[in-house]
Protein backbone atom coordinates (compact mmCIF):
# COMPACT_ATOMS: atom_id res chain seq x y z
CA UNK A 1 0.00 0.00 0.00
CA UNK A 2 2.85 2.36 0.80
CA UNK A 3 4.32 1.66 -2.64
CA UNK A 4 1.05 2.69 -4.32
CA UNK A 5 0.82 5.91 -2.29
CA UNK A 6 4.42 6.78 -3.16
CA UNK A 7 3.80 5.98 -6.82
CA UNK A 8 0.72 8.22 -6.97
CA UNK A 9 2.59 11.10 -5.31
CA UNK A 10 5.57 10.73 -7.65
CA UNK A 11 3.19 10.59 -10.59
CA UNK A 12 1.29 13.65 -9.43
CA UNK A 13 4.38 15.79 -8.89
CA UNK A 14 5.90 14.80 -12.23
CA UNK A 15 8.91 12.92 -10.88
CA UNK A 16 8.12 9.92 -13.08
CA UNK A 17 8.18 11.97 -16.26
CA UNK A 18 5.74 13.69 -18.52
CA UNK A 19 2.18 13.56 -17.21
CA UNK A 20 0.56 14.50 -20.49
CA UNK A 21 -1.39 11.54 -21.84
CA UNK A 22 -1.55 10.71 -25.52
CA UNK A 23 -5.21 11.72 -25.64
CA UNK A 24 -8.54 11.49 -23.92
CA UNK A 25 -9.76 8.43 -25.80
CA UNK A 26 -8.99 4.91 -24.72
CA UNK A 27 -7.21 2.61 -27.14
CA UNK A 28 -7.87 -1.11 -27.32
CA UNK A 29 -4.80 -1.95 -25.23
CA UNK A 30 -5.87 0.48 -22.54
CA UNK A 31 -9.42 -0.86 -22.54
CA UNK A 32 -8.05 -4.38 -22.05
CA UNK A 33 -5.95 -3.14 -19.12
CA UNK A 34 -9.03 -1.49 -17.62
CA UNK A 35 -10.95 -4.76 -18.02
CA UNK A 36 -8.07 -6.52 -16.23
CA UNK A 37 -8.25 -4.04 -13.35
CA UNK A 38 -12.02 -4.45 -13.04
CA UNK A 39 -11.70 -8.23 -13.19
CA UNK A 40 -9.04 -8.15 -10.45
CA UNK A 41 -11.25 -6.01 -8.21
CA UNK A 42 -14.28 -8.27 -8.73
CA UNK A 43 -12.29 -11.46 -8.12
CA UNK A 44 -10.91 -9.93 -4.92
CA UNK A 45 -14.44 -9.55 -3.61
CA UNK A 46 -15.83 -12.89 -4.75
CA UNK A 47 -12.96 -15.39 -4.50
CA UNK A 48 -13.01 -15.68 -0.74
CA UNK A 49 -16.74 -16.46 -0.71
CA UNK A 50 -16.30 -19.05 -3.46
CA UNK A 51 -13.46 -20.64 -1.53
CA UNK A 52 -15.56 -20.94 1.61
CA UNK A 53 -18.46 -22.43 -0.41
CA UNK A 54 -16.13 -25.19 -1.60
CA UNK A 55 -16.01 -26.44 1.97
CA UNK A 56 -19.71 -27.28 1.92
CA UNK A 57 -19.44 -29.41 -1.22
CA UNK A 58 -18.35 -33.01 -1.19
CA UNK A 59 -14.63 -33.60 -0.86
CA UNK A 60 -12.29 -36.48 -1.36
CA UNK A 61 -11.22 -38.21 1.83
CA UNK A 62 -7.52 -37.46 1.20
CA UNK A 63 -8.03 -33.68 1.00
CA UNK A 64 -6.04 -31.77 3.63
CA UNK A 65 -8.01 -28.55 3.31
CA UNK A 66 -9.03 -27.05 6.64
CA UNK A 67 -11.03 -23.93 7.44
CA UNK A 68 -7.81 -22.19 8.49
CA UNK A 69 -5.95 -22.95 5.24
CA UNK A 70 -8.95 -21.78 3.20
CA UNK A 71 -9.11 -18.61 5.33
CA UNK A 72 -5.40 -17.92 4.72
CA UNK A 73 -5.66 -18.61 0.99
CA UNK A 74 -8.69 -16.36 0.65
CA UNK A 75 -6.99 -13.42 2.35
CA UNK A 76 -3.75 -13.85 0.42
CA UNK A 77 -5.75 -13.89 -2.82
CA UNK A 78 -7.67 -10.77 -1.76
CA UNK A 79 -4.42 -8.89 -1.06
CA UNK A 80 -2.91 -10.06 -4.36
CA UNK A 81 -5.91 -8.94 -6.40
CA UNK A 82 -6.06 -5.55 -4.66
CA UNK A 83 -2.38 -5.04 -5.41
CA UNK A 84 -2.86 -6.14 -9.00
CA UNK A 85 -5.49 -3.40 -9.48
CA UNK A 86 -2.75 -0.89 -8.63
CA UNK A 87 -0.38 -2.65 -10.99
CA UNK A 88 -2.93 -2.25 -13.79
CA UNK A 89 -2.99 1.48 -12.96
CA UNK A 90 0.78 1.66 -13.32
CA UNK A 91 0.58 -0.18 -16.63
CA UNK A 92 -2.11 2.22 -17.85
CA UNK A 93 0.16 5.13 -17.03
CA UNK A 94 3.07 3.67 -18.98
CA UNK A 95 0.79 2.88 -21.91
CA UNK A 96 -0.23 6.56 -21.87
CA UNK A 97 -3.82 6.12 -20.76
CA UNK A 98 -5.92 9.13 -19.77
CA UNK A 99 -4.82 10.39 -16.37
CA UNK A 100 -8.32 10.36 -14.91
CA UNK A 101 -8.49 6.62 -15.62
CA UNK A 102 -5.02 6.06 -14.13
CA UNK A 103 -5.93 8.01 -10.99
CA UNK A 104 -9.28 6.24 -10.66
CA UNK A 105 -7.74 2.77 -10.94
CA UNK A 106 -5.02 3.73 -8.46
CA UNK A 107 -7.58 5.13 -6.02
CA UNK A 108 -9.66 1.95 -6.25
CA UNK A 109 -6.53 -0.08 -5.45
CA UNK A 110 -5.83 2.08 -2.40
CA UNK A 111 -9.42 1.77 -1.22
CA UNK A 112 -9.31 -2.02 -1.60
CA UNK A 113 -6.06 -2.22 0.35
CA UNK A 114 -7.21 0.23 3.04
CA UNK A 115 -10.52 -1.55 3.67
CA UNK A 116 -9.06 -5.05 3.85
CA UNK A 117 -9.35 -6.60 7.31
CA UNK A 118 -8.48 -10.21 7.98
CA UNK A 119 -11.04 -10.76 10.72
CA UNK A 120 -10.83 -13.62 13.16
CA UNK A 121 -9.38 -16.88 11.86
CA UNK A 122 -11.48 -20.01 12.17
CA UNK A 123 -10.61 -22.62 14.74
CA UNK A 124 -7.27 -24.08 13.62
CA UNK A 125 -7.95 -27.44 15.23
CA UNK A 126 -11.21 -27.99 13.38
CA UNK A 127 -11.20 -31.12 11.22
CA UNK A 128 -11.54 -30.86 7.44
CA UNK A 129 -15.10 -30.30 6.25
CA UNK A 130 -17.01 -33.50 5.48
CA UNK A 131 -20.39 -33.81 3.77
- What pLDDT, on the 0 to 100 scale, is given for residue 107? 92
Q: Residue 13: inside a domain, yes or no?
A: no
Let me know: does 109 contact 79? Beta carbons within 8 Å. no
Q: Residue 97: inside a domain, yes or no?
A: yes
Let me know: does 71 contact 122? Beta carbons within 8 Å. yes
- What pLDDT, on the 0 to 100 scale, is given for residue 1? 59
In degrees and rounded to multiples of 5, residue 115 shows phi and psi of -90, -5
Q: Residue 2: inside a domain, yes or no?
A: no
- What pLDDT, on the 0 to 100 scale, is given for residue 27? 80
Mean pLDDT for each consecutive 10-residue tract of the chain (131 residues)?
70 64 73 89 80 60 71 84 89 84 90 83 59 48
Q: Considering the entire predicted model, what is its pTM? A: 0.68
- Burial (0-12, 13-18, 19+ Cβ within 10 Å), 14: exposed
The number of distinct structural domains making up the chain is: 1
- What pLDDT, on the 0 to 100 scale, is given for residue 113? 87
Q: Residue 128: inside a domain, yes or no?
A: no
Q: Residue 104: inside a domain, yes or no?
A: yes
Number of helices (H), then strands (E), belonging to the chain: the values are 4, 0
Domain of 70, in residue numbers: 26-57+64-115
Residues 65, 53: Cα–Cα separation, whole Å: 13
Amino acid sequence: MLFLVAWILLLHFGVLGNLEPAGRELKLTQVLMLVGAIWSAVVGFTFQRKLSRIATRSRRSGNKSTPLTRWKAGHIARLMTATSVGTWGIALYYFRGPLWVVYTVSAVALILLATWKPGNPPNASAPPARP
